[in-house]
Structure 1
Amino acid sequence: MLLASIDIENLYTSIPQDKGVECIREILSHSGKSEKVTQFICESLTFILKNNAFLFDEVWYRQIGGVAMGTPVACTFANLYVASFEEKYVFTTSNPFLKFVRCYHRFVDDVFIAWDGTATNFREFVEFLNEKNEMNLRFTYKVDSKKMEFLDVLIETEGGELRTSGYRKPTAFNSLLQFSSYHPQHTKTALPYGQFLRLRRINDTDEKFISQAEELKQRLVARGYPVSIINTALKRALAQDRNNLLATNKNKKAKQDTKVKSSDNPVSRFSFSFKFSPLEKVIRRAVHNSWSLIKSDTDLGKLVHDRPLITFKRCKNLRDAVTSSNFCSNPKTTDWLTKSGPTGNHKCGTCIWCPNMKIGKSTQIGGEIIHVNTLITCRTQWVVYAMICSCGRFYIGSTKRTLNTRFREHVYSVKTKKGAPCFIEHMNSEHKGICDNLLFQGLEVVRSKENSDKRKLLLQTEAKWIIKLNAAGNLGLNERVDYSVFL
């Protein structure tokens, strides 16, 4: 007996769309589905297959062949398509090599076969599959008399029997979830037990299991898992009977049916999905404790029964921030590292002067359009600012304190008539001391240079803006330009 494996080359992209839908229609027609349901499924599938758009190098494309790997329906569609192929070309009396097949198992595009013929027979069998089918599938194969890798299992022949043990590719690296990762604690605690159970199922002897469990243990330790959690999981897995783990759980469906019957309405359990937070227990407790209020409602109580199912989605990680599937041959010079972020004037949202803050990335003062290239809020410090009157006149000033603090002082100076003479006189004579319509806006934030006098730099920047906007004449309310700050 020989051990062999077959791989279907580029399965997802090799399936002709129209022929794939035909296969699905044929399978549905034999499943007892009504013609109406069959037609709906096939039309929906056609729409999905023929409307897959993607962006590459800033050009949009539509996929006209195969199925997109990221589409949820892809795996089921491909599985059924290959099943249709097997029915027509493998498990059929017209296959002259079927008599050699002792064992045949497939997982999507990987096939394991126990072969009762020669290596030449198997080569001819694969050639038969490649040449005789009209379904656009191509196959490659490996054959050996002693051992064969299939997925994560190493299958060997020993005394006329098949023996199994765990298999890792030579190029495999330690990709286990880091224990410090931003995931629910129960997920990280349960991971070692799940990994040990997998090895328990695959390895057919305790000796093989213990040997591979020790290697897995070292990989878990390298990923930061506490030894106590690892040892507990290992003991639990070792105590499990392998035959029970491999046996089909016949009571599983019965248990599920019992859970459904516990509620009057089988579709009664709501699901809430949140991005994961360290406060997950608090969120669960708050929802569950408040659920009685919904159940007690006259109308909603008829629709809900069980407590809701709360699940968590992963948050964005570093990979999401630094990588992109959108290839571009001429990428923009800015990215998340060099991007300057939001610019312009924005309200802080917490102070009483927010209504007087003139927001926007650009403004017009004295007939000149000004673009603000940095972020300025009511609480920005070391800033040159403009106060703009409803009549169009304006005043240029600067402050090392927060912008809203300086604006408050100006409003107070109008009432006390102590401060900038031209500005105070204008507000009192033209607007009767009312500052409700007076607006303020940042123009430039002063960034100190090494070994420089920041206060002097602020006054110099203010003087430059007074000159630029002619704030000491025309519509401006500044008295003069102080050139002494440049000495």
Structure 2
Amino acid sequence: MISQEISTFEKMVTQDIEKIKGNNKRNNLTANENKALRQLAEDKDIIVKPADKGGGTVILSTKYYEEEAYRILNDHTTYKKLKGDPTAETKEKFDEFLDRGYALGIINNNEYKYMKINHPRRPVFYHLPKIHKNPTRPPGRPIVSGIDSISSRLSEYIDKILQPYVNQTTSHLKDTLNILQDLDKIQWKEHYILVTSDVSALYSNIPHVEGITAVKNILGKTNSLPPEQIDYILEGIHLILTNNYFWFNEDFYLQVKGTAMGTKFAPSFANLFMAEWEEPLVQGGGENIILYRRYIDDILLIWGGGEQSLEEFIATMNRKDINIKLETQWSKEEVNFLDLTIYRKDNGIATKTFFKPVDCNNFIDKTSCHLDKWLEGVPKSQILRLRRNCTDINIFDEQTERLQEAFKEKGYDPDTLEETRKEIRKRDRTDLLKYKTRSDTQKPQLPIIYTYNQQNKAIRKIISKYWPILRQDPALVEILPEKPRFVCRGTGNLKKAITRSEYPAQSRNKKEYFQIEKGFHGCGNCLSCRSTGNKKRIIKEVDHKRGKWKIRDILTCFSKNVLYLLVCPCGLKYIGRTTRALNVRVREHIRNISKGLETHSVPLHFKKSHNCDPKNLEFLALKKIHPQRRGGDAIKLLGKEEMRFIYEFGTLHPAGLNMDFEICHFL
């Protein structure tokens, strides 16, 4: 039940936002650039992907991208092609698992409702080009995008439980700052050796049984979870691993070994597997191991013995029985680890930022559609990173000079960059090697999250103006801050426009026997047309707030899954949606109008203003909502589009006949 305070707040904010006048800010892309962008996005001969490392953008021929995908998928020890779509069968397994967990009291009602996905999307396979391995024919890193898939929220639930155990493992590295703190404590000796190792294809090489056993052993070492919950978590992991199916180029596959990079709990699962795997090995290294730290599959080791003993130690780590293979480098002078170069200096150890050979200048452009304050913080955060990473102030100066040039290329002010550099240069590096702590008395604030747009300041001002109304709600006053805290999502960008995780459907040349014009083709003959003012005609466009809406589908009175428009004799409009044939839904409106019902805004208006007579009512379909190739909640999508059209056509009461703006479709 929505409180009066929430309803009033929503109404006042909506009314004021409706009054915001459009501004004259120009698009930061020219007409030709927009045209080129559309053509690039529609080009079926190329695939655009972000590089696996370095932040660059890679353009691949569709032919090569597909060849590389099948090279990966033809590894029959890891992937198995399925005969058909396993979604229904898989959903039944997950629903039964969640039903049982709820019945046993292992998961509560909120967890149960969140994890049970009624309209799952198909997980899709894609790969990122490893141009650091081969710039002309890059091998691909396999990824499965499983957002809103059957297992996605169960995976999220398991990850949340496993994360604290990952943080407690001895060798776990949280981030670069964590390793800088560890290195700061090392007293370097002449015979020490710097070693880095990378576990080759860790995610896809973790055996299911050994991985689950590792999680079981680590969870069982504490009494923080009851045995029945541990068993349930382990069963959930097994369920995800053995039903890790995905879709590529119209075919379905099952990953039969390891875990997919892309599922939420994969990093935690890999971390716990590695923690269990490495524990006896590290103990076997004895006093020769001065430091051993790991960030998922990247290992840093400082070895106190000789090279021969190091080679023997590495040989024991390469476990052929479970296909764990390490790619190892060592040196007494310097190594690269994560975003650091770790090197010897004056009989001590020092660090600086490591720039990969494939690194590109992918910093955000200063003219990009983002909050000014956020854009100003981008160079500062990067310069702070260099100050933290660089032990030697002279190297910091060299690296910031390179960084400043990169930001200048993106339109940032040189004087502001130099002022920021000077301010950060004065800071004590010791202070930067500390994590920020939050006071125990400091309450987490509930932010207002919205997509940034050019009316950002006006929207913030309106919400702040009516914020006190919202805080009068007895339930909300306990969790809302005195003043609203705003967080902006990124708006559309070039990457979103031209890259997709889903492999595009290759167009098939369909022969068109009739050249039918796009628009609404009113038949003039069905019962709904005969009972209203509709005539046989084609409507190609209709008026809305910002000019004309061009109908881009071929629509009729019998079209299903459409957004439609009702126009009453006095000109007021109503936007609706239906999954049934349009004329069936319109007949319901006609009956309700004729009966003079007051339970809906349309018949109520006709009763008050048009004597319950529908004969001058006009209707048409505006847009067909096509099923998404990956599946998902079609009703929710239809509802979202309905709300967008209500806004675009300005049909919210009192300007139109729509009484409600249903935000539930966006939650």
Task: Give the length in aligned residue pairs.
Answer: 350
Query: Deviation of residue 288 (structure 1)?
Result: 3.0
Conserved 8 A contact 2:292-2:301: yes
TM-score (norm 2): 0.47
Q: Does 1:324 align with 2:500?
A: yes
- After superposition, the Cα gap between the structure-2 partners of 1:321 and 1:54, relative to the gap in structure 1 and judged at 3 Å, is farther
Rounded to whole Å, the distance in 1 between the matches of 2:421 and 2:474 is: 50
**Alignment counterpart, residue 200 of structure 2, candidates 9, 14, 30:** 9
Q: Does 1:259 align with 2:442?
A: yes
Q: Does 1:45 align with 2:45?
A: no
- After superposition, the Cα gap between the structure-2 partners of 1:301 and 1:216, relative to the gap in structure 1 and judged at 3 Å, is closer
- Measured against aligned partners, the alpha-carbon deviations of 1:311-361 in whole angstroms (never above 9, x if no partner) come to 232233333333333336x71159xxxxx99932189xxxxxxx7456xxx
Q: For residue 104 of structure 1, what is the aligned residue in structure 2?
A: 292
- Measured against aligned partners, the alpha-carbon deviations of 1:340-394 in whole angstroms (never above 9, x if no partner) come to 99932189xxxxxxx7456xxxx8x9xxxxxx8xx7125689xxxxxxxxxxxxx
> Which structure is larger by alpha-carbon Rg, 1 or 2?
1
- Measured against aligned partners, the alpha-carbon deviations of 1:410-461 in whole angstroms (never above 9, x if no partner) come to xxxxxxxxxxxxxxxxxxxxxxxx995698999xxxxxxxxxxxxxxxxxxx
Query: What 5-or-longer segments of structure 1 have no aligned partner?
Result: 261-265, 335-339, 348-354, 366-371, 382-403, 405-433, 443-487
**Aligned ranges 1:86-485 → 2 under 5 Å:** 86-90=278-282, 92=283, 95=284, 97-131=285-319, 134-249=321-436, 252-253=437-438, 255=439, 257-260=440-443, 269-298=445-474, 300-301=476-477, 304=480, 306-327=482-503, 331-332=506-507, 343-345=518-520, 356=533, 376-378=540-542, 436=615
**Alignment counterpart, residue 276 of structure 2, candidates 65, 74, 84:** 84
- After superposition, the Cα gap between the structure-2 partners of 1:166 and 1:299, relative to the gap in structure 1 and judged at 3 Å, is closer
Query: Deviation of residue 196 (structure 1)?
Result: 0.7
- After superposition, the Cα gap between the structure-2 partners of 1:115 and 1:298, relative to the gap in structure 1 and judged at 3 Å, is closer
- Measured against aligned partners, the alpha-carbon deviations of 1:3-57 in whole angstroms (never above 9, x if no partner) come to 2111111112222234322222222222332224433433443344344332111
SS in structure 1 at match of 2:299: strand
Query: Deviation of residue 192 (structure 1)?
Result: 0.8
Rounded to whole Å, the distance in 2 between the matches of 1:441 and 1:42 is: 54
SS in structure 2 at match of 1:49: helix
- After superposition, the Cα gap between the structure-2 partners of 1:62 and 1:297, relative to the gap in structure 1 and judged at 3 Å, is same
Q: For residue 446 of structure 1, what is the aligned residue in structure 2?
A: none
SS in structure 2 at match of 1:24: helix
Rounded to whole Å, the distance in 2 between the matches of 1:440 and 1:259 is: 55
- Measured against aligned partners, the alpha-carbon deviations of 1:46-84 in whole angstroms (never above 9, x if no partner) come to 344344332111112233322222222222222222122
- Measured against aligned partners, the alpha-carbon deviations of 1:291-321 in whole angstroms (never above 9, x if no partner) come to 2112213454456455554323223333333
What residue identity is the alignment partner of 2:266?
A
Q: For residue 217 of structure 2, what is the aligned residue in structure 1?
A: 26
- After superposition, the Cα gap between the structure-2 partners of 1:123 and 1:55, relative to the gap in structure 1 and judged at 3 Å, is same
Rounded to whole Å, the distance in 1 between the matches of 2:459 and 2:263 is: 32
What residue identity is the alignment partner of 1:220?
F
Conserved 8 A contact 2:195-2:328: yes
- After superposition, the Cα gap between the structure-2 partners of 1:304 and 1:169, relative to the gap in structure 1 and judged at 3 Å, is closer
Rounded to whole Å, the distance in 2 between the matches of 1:440 and 1:129 is: 72
- After superposition, the Cα gap between the structure-2 partners of 1:342 and 1:318, relative to the gap in structure 1 and judged at 3 Å, is farther
- After superposition, the Cα gap between the structure-2 partners of 1:438 and 1:101, relative to the gap in structure 1 and judged at 3 Å, is closer
**Alignment counterpart, residue 259 of structure 2, candidates 67, 71, 92:** 67
Rounded to whole Å, the distance in 1 between the matches of 2:517 and 2:287 is: 71
The range that moved more, 280-289 or 199-208, is 280-289
Conserved 8 A contact 2:388-2:433: yes
Rounded to whole Å, the distance in 2 between the matches of 1:341 and 1:137 is: 60
Rounded to whole Å, the distance in 2 between the matches of 1:341 and 1:230 is: 58
Rounded to whole Å, the distance in 2 between the matches of 1:258 and 1:439 is: 61
Rounded to whole Å, the distance in 1 between the matches of 2:245 and 2:201 is: 19
- After superposition, the Cα gap between the structure-2 partners of 1:282 and 1:16, relative to the gap in structure 1 and judged at 3 Å, is farther
Conserved 8 A contact 1:346-1:378: no
- After superposition, the Cα gap between the structure-2 partners of 1:279 and 1:26, relative to the gap in structure 1 and judged at 3 Å, is farther
Query: What 5-or-longer segments of structure 2 have no aligned partner?
Result: 1-191, 510-514, 523-531, 550-566, 568-612, 622-667
Query: Deviation of residue 213 (structure 1)?
Result: 0.8
TM-score (norm 1): 0.63
- After superposition, the Cα gap between the structure-2 partners of 1:52 and 1:315, relative to the gap in structure 1 and judged at 3 Å, is farther
Rounded to whole Å, the distance in 2 between the matches of 1:74 and 1:234 is: 39
